[in-house]
Copies of this chain bind each other. A is one copy, B any other.
Amino acid sequence: MIQLDFHPSGRHFLQIPGPTPVPDRILRAMSYPTIDHRGPEFGALGRKVLADLKKIFKTEHPVIIYPASGTGAWEAALINTLSPDDRVLMFETGHFATLWRKMAQALGLEPEFLGLPGTEGWRRGVQADMIETHLRRDTGHAIKAVCVVHNETSTGVVSDIAAVRRAIDAAGHPALLLVDTISGLASADYRHDEWGVDVTVAGSQKGLMLPPGISFNALSPKAIAASANAKLPRSFWGWAEMLEANKTGYFPYTPSTNLLYGLSEALDMIQGEGLDNVFARHQRLAEATRRAVRAWGLQIQCADPAAYSPVLTGVMMPDGVDADAVRKLIYERFNLSLGQALGKIRGRMFRIGHLGDCNDLTLMATLAGCEMGLKLTGVTVAASGVAAALDFLAQP
């Protein structure tokens, strides 16, 4: 077998903002023998995960599971609801918002891309007022959908989806609201129904603690209705056959059975801990991380405290420091994977993931690895971030 564990000793720390470390319970569940996806056992599994998923998205409406990774679920959201040349309003919060726009263009849509100048928008969340203004001007309702990213994985910034909903409503605009919470689901509070989201896009390899390979569309009745008239050609991603087959727990084509085993286990784990406890844990670890960054005297990528992500924290490097060189040393010497900066800010920051199956000591190890790496690459730190995080986590 290919050598997948060349680290000479000890556990690898996978602290990128996804994929996240897959708990043993889930890896074991995934290694059960594959079953007939048309047999009775499978139906029971299908019904269970389809029902439990709704609780995670906080929705009463159907959630679609694709046997495809998260990028596919983006495509599915667009392709099921829109027609060629439709205009969609997107907001540049970071690299993944930019990639989504690129996909919209590739699919023959007409994205309008709002954003703050330069990299300013990569340090803040969606500006709902800009969306409202833009939609008000669209009196002909040429814009068919507003597409935003809930938790920007490239920056560590959370956008206020309820505010976006209010902006659309305030503009009296009928556009659909499509939201990517690929890295937010099950880590940051998310409310599909309450926030009036029409399609929520999510993936498996983040807060759900699974390997990558399956992804989700949570739907609203309005989105389902829109799909009846949407003209983009579709087959694999089509909701209609999925919804029909899902009624009895089955799928119209071969599902990713072993990942569904893992999903079942993940849903049990999350519900066992309690979704609110999961969120509180993420907030706690995020706060500890930010205290470390501040102690080091470094900048947090997210410039708006109200928009701090509970999922990951972007750590900006001082001018002249190559963030990727820091990451490389940390990887090679301390067996710790950190997320690289993507797109516009490549090389200027690194990302610490503190999501999924993570706890106080995993975080302390991660921060220690960062601090040692900063020292060894000659980045001057003001004080010990490890000490600051420890002080926070050791509060009674």
Contacts and interface: CB of A to CB of B under 8 A. Distances in A.
A375 interface: yes
A319 interface: no
B337 A48 contact: no
A334 interface: yes
A238 interface: yes
A257 B33 contact: no
Given A68-B66, A69-B256, A45 B4 contact: yes
A18 B235 CA distance: 22
Contacts of A234: 106-107
A281 interface: yes
A256 B4 contact: no
Given A37-B212, A212-B254, 12 more contacts: A6-B41, A8-B277, A10-B360, A21-B34, A67-B72, A68-B68, A68-B236, A84-B233, A107-B234, A203-B254, A361-B369, A384-B384
Contacts of A376: 394, 396
Contacts of A67: 68-69, 72, 212-213
A13 to B, nearest CB: 6
Contact of A41 (B4, B24, B334): B4
A264 interface: yes
Contact of A31 (B28, B69, B205): B28
A12 interface: yes
Interface residues of A, number: 114
A92 interface: no
A336 interface: yes
A345 interface: no
A201 B39 CA distance: 25
Contacts of A306: none
A340 B38 contact: yes
A1 B368 contact: no
A43 to B, nearest CB: 11
A29 interface: yes
A243 interface: no
A98 interface: no
Interface in A9-52: 9-14, 16, 18-25, 27-41, 44-45, 48
Interface string A118-130: 0000000000000
Interface string A43-80: 01100100000000000000000111111101100000
A108 interface: yes
A336 to B, nearest CB: 6
A9 B361 contact: no
A357 interface: yes
Nearest to A336: B361
A261 B106 contact: no
A84 B172 CA distance: 35
A365 B358 CA distance: 12
